[in-house]
């Protein structure tokens, strides 16, 4: 099977998409959303705020090591046992520091008792998740995409089975939010162990002695990645915390925001897979002085098609989507979901622009953009949350996400000086306009909602082929490649 280039990218992407579409949306919209239904918006709103705190600080567990490691292994084509062991020991130390800082921060923010317990377990889970991501960075750096695909969904699969039984097959009763966080701990441990088993034959080893000089050199090389990831996490995750802390409503607005964010997160997990595949491919192509234009164009077309379709469905059918999982507070959540799915288009395309800048080593531009985004997002949240609550926070997030995409695109134009593809821009604008019109027409036809959405998806596929946003020839070649593999 072809492992490099446009066809290899699409072939590996199909495997990742199939596994993740089968598992992760089921977990988020089936398990996680059902937990929210059973515990109520207030309890889940508090959990959501604590979860965001654990995400905001979890860069301490990584400090950019994953992205740095993926890029280095893709360039060198192998695992250095000494570096692997040193990075693993460094991660243990960083994990202890992270948990201590997370607990201290929670005390400063006024959390006590039960909330401290939940945050401690969430922080422990983030440490375990960081090890899984580190192991996966080695797998993707080696272009072992099949193994990485398995590891990428295993923890969620375990939770679907375990929590699914508790939620749907036991006698109905009060669901304890602790079951969710402790279940995550078990799933992460099993997944990390399996990932390690897959890496041992590739040269992974913990036998190397601790080398403080080597650890400092690793941190020095990876800190730009750490700074970037931290700032991106701040402007994408601070909204839930600010909603819960700024409004005296028993975390009600945070719970409303979390309902819509569940859908965004499920979709974002799929879009993120493009970055997982593109980073090592961009890195190796740039090293070998091979044009990345075909990969950029392919990634852009697929992400633009998928995210635009999702945004249009979300705009016209947000109530329908929310009713799939919730039976109350639909009108309050509808506008939030519409905004977040519009922002999903920008986030999806950023997985191409941001990943290309990362692979090229242009962390300075990315960090400058991210720093401005942090300031912009916080200021907008401070201005919009008091008046509009969850909807205002969603608006702040969307503005920030589109600003990040536009400025990243400008940075790419300045760094690579590509020949402008005006035809692609025209086709994209035409596709978006016709899809928007199709969405409106779908709402006025006399048919059931399911048939309307199905017709809209079919129309989108036709428009994608007509405007050449989708390339049928390339897709058929990938399918043949997959069948012959």
Do the Cβ atoms of 55 and 49 come closer than 8 Å? no
Long-range contacts at 436-444 (CB < 8 A, ≥ 24 apart): 436/312, 438/312, 438/463, 439/312, 439/313, 439/315, 439/316, 440/316, 442/316, 443/316
Kindly give the interhelix angle for 330-359 and 65-76, rounded to the nearest 10 degrees. Answer: 40
In a domain, 441, yes or no: no
Q: Are 35 and 175 in contact (CB under 8 A)?
A: yes
Nearest residue to 389 via CA among 290, 275, 192, 243: 243
CB 50 within 8 A of CB 122: yes
Tokens at 45, concatenated: 């709103």
How far apart (Å, rounded) are the C-alpha atoms in residues 222 and 232?
16
- Asked if 122 and 181 touch (Cβ cutoff 8 Å), the reply is yes
**Over the stretch 266-288, which tens digit does the pLDDT of each residue have?**
788 778 877 777 877 787 788 88
Assigned token pair, 154: 């295993």
- CA dist 182 and 62 (Å) reads 22
DSSP secondary structure string for all residues of 220-241? HHHHHHHHHHHHHHHHHHHHHH
Closest CA to 205 of 94, 92, 80, 91: 80
DSSP one-letter code for 420: P
Tokens 């701990």 correspond to 185
In whole angstroms, give the CA distance from residue 463 to residue 297.
18
- Residue 215: the pLDDT is 62
Please state, as a whole number, how many other Cβ atoms lie within 10 Å of the Cβ of residue 209. Answer: 9
Q: Does 468 fall in a domain?
A: no
Calpha distance 84→72 (Å, rounded): 12
Nearest-CA neighbor of 381 among 240, 264, 263? 240
The residue among 176, 64, 53, 41 whose CA lies nearest residue 122 is 53
Helix residue ranges, H only, 324-421: 330-359, 363-416
Residues 63-81 have pLDDT tens digits of 666 666 666 666 666 776 6
Q: By the 8 A CB rule, do 67 and 279 touch?
A: yes
Flag whether 193 is in a domain.
yes
For residue 75, tell me if it sits in a domain. yes
Tell whether 343 is covered by a domain: yes
pLDDT tens digit string along 415-474? 888 888 889 999 999 999 999 999 999 999 888 888 999 999 999 999 999 998 987 665
Running DSSP on this structure, what letter comes out for residue 326? -
Of 98-112, 199-213, 284-298, 352-366, least confident by mean pLDDT is 199-213
Tokens of 198: 């897959």
Q: Which of 349, 342, 347 is nearest to 391 (CA)?
A: 342
Q: What is the torsion angle, in degrees rounded to the nearest 10, for the CA atoms of residue 100, residue 106, residue 108 and residue 110?
A: -150
Pinpoint the alpha helices (H) of 250-359: 252-287, 293-323, 330-359
pLDDT of 408: 94
Note whether residue 117 is domain-resident.
yes
| Domain ranges, residue 214 | 5-418
Inter-residue contact 165 to 30 (CB < 8 Å): no
Specify the higher pLDDT residue, 210 or 332: 332
What is the per-residue pLDDT for 172? 63
Name the residue with tokens 């401290």. Answer: 116
Residue 388 tokens read as 């509009």
Residue 398 belongs to some domain of the structure: yes
The CA distance from 63 to 69, in Å, is 11
The Cα 247–Cα 389 span in angstroms is 8
User: From residue 115, how far is each of 60, 104, 177, 239 by CA, in Å?
Assistant: 21, 13, 11, 19
Name which of 57, 58, 65, 361 is nearest 223 in CA terms: 65
Name the band, by pLDDT with cuts 50, 70 and 90, for residue 184. very high
pLDDT in the model for residue 88: 79
Distance of CA 431 to the CA centre of its chain: 25
List, in order, residues 6 or more apart from 219 with CB less than 8 Å away.
63, 90
Q: How far apart are CA 153 and CA 195, in angstroms?
A: 12
The structural domain count of the chain equals 1
Q: Which residues, in sequence order, are CB contacts of 308 under 8 Å at separation 6+?
A: 345, 431, 432, 435, 460
Residues 6+ apart with CB under 8 A from 107: 116
Q: pTM value?
A: 0.71
**Whole-number mean pLDDT of the chain?**
83
Q: What percent of the chain has pLDDT over 90?
A: 35
Percent pLDDT > 70 in the chain is: 84
Confidence of residue 52 (pLDDT cuts 50, 70, 90): confident
């Amino acid at each position: 099977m072809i492992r490099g280039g446009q066809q290899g990218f699409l072939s590996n992407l199909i495997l990742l998409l199939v596994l993740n579409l089968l598992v992760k949306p089921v977990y988020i919209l089936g398990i996680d959303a059902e937990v929210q239904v059973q515990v109520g918006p207030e309890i889940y709103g508090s959990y959501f705020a604590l979860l965001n705190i654990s995400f905001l600080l979890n860069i301490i567990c990584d400090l950019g090591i994953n992205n740095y490691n993926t890029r280095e292994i893709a360039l060198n084509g192998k695992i250095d046992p000494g570096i692997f062991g040193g990075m693993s020991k460094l991660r243990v130390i960083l994990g202890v520091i992270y948990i201590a800082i997370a607990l201290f921060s929670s005390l400063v923010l006024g959390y006590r008792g039960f909330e401290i317990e939940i945050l401690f377990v969430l922080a422990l889970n983030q440490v375990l998740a960081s090890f899984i991501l580190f192991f996966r960075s080695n797998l993707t750096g080696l272009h072992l995409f099949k193994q990485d695909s398995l590891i990428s969904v295993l923890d969620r699969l375990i939770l679907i089975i375990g929590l699914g039984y508790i939620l749907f097959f036991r006698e109905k009763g009060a669901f304890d939010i602790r079951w969710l966080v402790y279940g995550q701990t078990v799933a992460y441990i099993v997944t990390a162990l399996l990932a390690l088993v897959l890496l041992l034959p590739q040269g992974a080893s913990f036998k190397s002695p601790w080398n403080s000089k080597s650890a400092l050199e690793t941190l020095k090389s990876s800190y730009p990645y750490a700074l970037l990831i931290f700032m991106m996490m701040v402007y994408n995750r601070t909204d839930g915390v600010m909603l819960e802390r700024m409004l005296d409503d028993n975390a009600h607005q945070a719970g409303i925001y979390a309902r819509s964010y569940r859908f965004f997160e499920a979709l974002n997990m799929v879009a993120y897979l493009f970055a997982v595949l593109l980073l090592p491919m961009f890195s190796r192509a740039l090293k070998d002085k091979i044009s990345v234009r075909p990969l950029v164009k392919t990634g852009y077309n697929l992400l633009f098609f998928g995210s635009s379709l999702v945004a249009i469905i979300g705009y016209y059918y947000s109530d329908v989507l929310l009713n799939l999982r919730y039976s109350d507070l639909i009108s309050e959540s509808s506008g939030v979901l519409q905004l977040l799915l519009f922002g999903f288009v920008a986030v999806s395309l950023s997985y191409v622009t941001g990943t290309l800048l990362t692979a090229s080593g242009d962390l300075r531009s990315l960090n400058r953009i991210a720093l401005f985004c942090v300031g912009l997002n916080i200021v907008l949240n401070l201005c919009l949350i008091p008046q509009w609550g969850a909807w205002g926070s969603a608006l702040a997030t969307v503005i920030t996400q589109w600003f990040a995409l536009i400025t990243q695109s400008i940075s790419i134009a300045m760094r690579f000086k590509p020949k402008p593809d005006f035809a692609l821009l025209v086709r994209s604008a035409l596709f978006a306009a016709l899809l928007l019109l199709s969405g409106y027409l779908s709402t006025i036809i006399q048919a059931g909602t399911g048939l309307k959405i199905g017709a809209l998806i079919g129309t989108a596929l036709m428009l994608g082929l007509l405007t050449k946003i989708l390339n049928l020839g390339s897709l058929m070649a990938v399918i043949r490649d997959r069948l012959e593999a």
